[in-house]
């Protein structure tokens, strides 16, 4: 579900958000190069998250273009790369796929940039997604086998929030974001459900900074998201959650 950069910046102004990550991807209907061009006028505020999808070779083996992976990982305007296993039907922990991911993930690790994996529930308007590929437990293998790689579990892995929290707790190189919990604005019931899930996550991860703010605009309303999170967090936890951890992980 793509949106225009100029509209995103207007939404950020209303929500009092200084900077945001903009995601490319087949699911979003926009390539990395298109995102780079779209966000260029707002480079001080909009940072690009590249995306790669596996291709099927003539012998039936999935792979990621190694030269493109290196190029994107080292691009000066790219701060991370996102992968969509639930939408593209592959297990991150599968031996063959892990081999296919080797160049993208090692290139990211060497560049000091995170790999973000869609995890948990899938967008209702995107047909064909399969939840079994989107369970956060599969990222434990990736975290162990690529210990120098920073990994972000998108959407807290909802509804497998406890599972996502355990992967984060166990692996010092794994984090999670809270984006995409609602469509549009939070209702009172949505806010309660969100708070309950965040508390479940924090019960497992404890005081270690592991959770990042995210909205998933234009699916979710940024102003509503910010206010809901301000109602939930306070003190040093708020500072880390809203910007501190993101600044560290994405070097922005």
Residue 239's pLDDT is 86
Omega before residue 159 within 30° of 0, cis:
yes
Residue 8's pLDDT is 95
Rounded Cα–Cα distance for residues 226 and 232 (Å): 10
Report residues of the chain scoring pLDDT below 70: 1-3, 56-61, 123-126, 236
The alpha carbons of the chain give a radius of gyration, in whole angstroms, of: 17
**CA distances to 12, 18, 39, 206 from 44, in Å:** 13, 9, 9, 33
Q: Pick from 148, 77, 88: which is nearest to 117 by CA?
A: 88
Q: Residue 176: what are its φ and ψ, rounded to 5°?
A: -145, 155
Residue 2's pLDDT is 58
Residue 237's pLDDT is 74
User: Would you tell me how many other CB atoms lie within 10 Å of the CB of residue 22?
Assistant: 22
Tokens 């369970």 locate to 135
pLDDT digits 0-9 by tens, 68-114: 999 999 999 999 999 999 998 999 988 888 888 999 999 999 999 99
How many domains does the chain divide into?
1
Quote the domain boundaries for residue 93: 5-250
Residue 200's pLDDT is 96
Residue 234's pLDDT is 73
pTM of the model: 0.93
User: What CATH number is associated with residue 236?
Assistant: 3.20.20.140
Residue 61's pLDDT is 66
Rounded Cα–Cα distance for residues 181 and 190 (Å): 8
């Amino acid at each position: 579900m793509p949106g225009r950069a100029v509209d995103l910046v207007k939404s950020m102004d209303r929500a009092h958000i200084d900077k945001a990550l903009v995601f490319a991807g087949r699911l979003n209907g926009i390539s990395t190069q298109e995102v780079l061009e779209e966000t260029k006028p707002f480079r001080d505020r909009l940072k690009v998250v590249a995306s790669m999808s596996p291709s099927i070779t003539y012998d039936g083996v999935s792979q990621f273009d190694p030269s493109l992976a290196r190029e994107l990982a080292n691009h000066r305007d790219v701060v991370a790369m996102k992968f969509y296993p639930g939408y593209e039907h592959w297990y991150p922990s599968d031996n063959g796929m892990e081999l296919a991911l080797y160049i993208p993930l090692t290139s990211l690790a060497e560049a000091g940039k995170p790999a973000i994996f869609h995890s948990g529930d899938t967008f209702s308007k995107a047909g064909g997604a399969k939840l079994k590929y989107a369970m956060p437990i599969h990222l434990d293998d990736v975290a162990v086998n690529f210990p120098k790689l920073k990994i972000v579990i998108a959407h807290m892995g909802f509804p497998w929030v406890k599972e996502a929290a355990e992967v984060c707790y166990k692996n010092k190189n794994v984090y999670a974001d809270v984006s995409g919990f609602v469509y549009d604005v939070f209702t009172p019931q949505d806010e309660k459900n969100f708070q309950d899930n965040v508390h479940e996550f924090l019960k497992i991860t404890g005081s270690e900074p592991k959770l990042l703010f995210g909205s998933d605009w234009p699916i979710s309303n940024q102003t509503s998201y910010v206010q809901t999170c301000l109602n939930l967090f306070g003190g040093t936890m708020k500072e880390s959650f809203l910007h501190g951890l993101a600044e560290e992980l994405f070097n922005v």
